[in-house]
């Protein structure tokens, strides 16, 4: 969803996801938040990192170092998105 907002296109696919690192546990009833940061913009892609945290304790639960999403055109082919930074959205 974050990549759809940044690239202003609902035709986005996941190309790659690095390993999921489980740093600590969460329990039923915990309130968690998911943070995404842009690491890199390619011509047709956006690479982000993800961190899942416990809202109350701020403990990091999960990290994912790289999630690469590709922008597609109406024919399902990679399309140049023209973005250079997340601030442009």
Summarize pLDDT for 44-76 with one digit per residue, the tens.
Answer: 999 999 999 999 999 999 999 999 999 999 999
Domain segments of the chain as ranges = 2-82
CATH 3.30.160.270 fits 2-82, yes or no: no
User: What pTM, to 2 d.p., does this model score?
Assistant: 0.85
Instruction: Tell me the helices (H) and strands (E) count for the chain, helix number first.
Output: 1, 5
Confidence of residue 84 (pLDDT cuts 50, 70, 90): confident
pLDDT at 25: 95
Report the run of H or E that residue 6 belongs to, with start and end.
Answer: helix 2-7
Q: What are the structure tokens assigned to 87, written together?
A: 């601030």
Other Cβ atoms less than 10 A from the Cβ of 5: the count is 11
Q: Is the pLDDT of residue 87 over 80?
A: no
Q: Is the pLDDT of residue 31 over 90?
A: yes
């Amino acid at each position: 969803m974050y990549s759809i907002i940044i690239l202003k296109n609902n035709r986005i696919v996941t190309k790659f996801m690095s390993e999921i690192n489980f740093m600590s546990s969460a329990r039923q009833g915990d309130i968690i938040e998911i943070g995404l940061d842009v690491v890199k913009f390619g011509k047709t892609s956006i690479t982000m990192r993800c961190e899942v945290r416990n809202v109350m304790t701020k403990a990091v639960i999960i990290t994912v170092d790289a999630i690469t999403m590709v922008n597609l055109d109406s024919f399902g082919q990679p399309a140049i998105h023209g973005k250079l930074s997340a601030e442009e959205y």
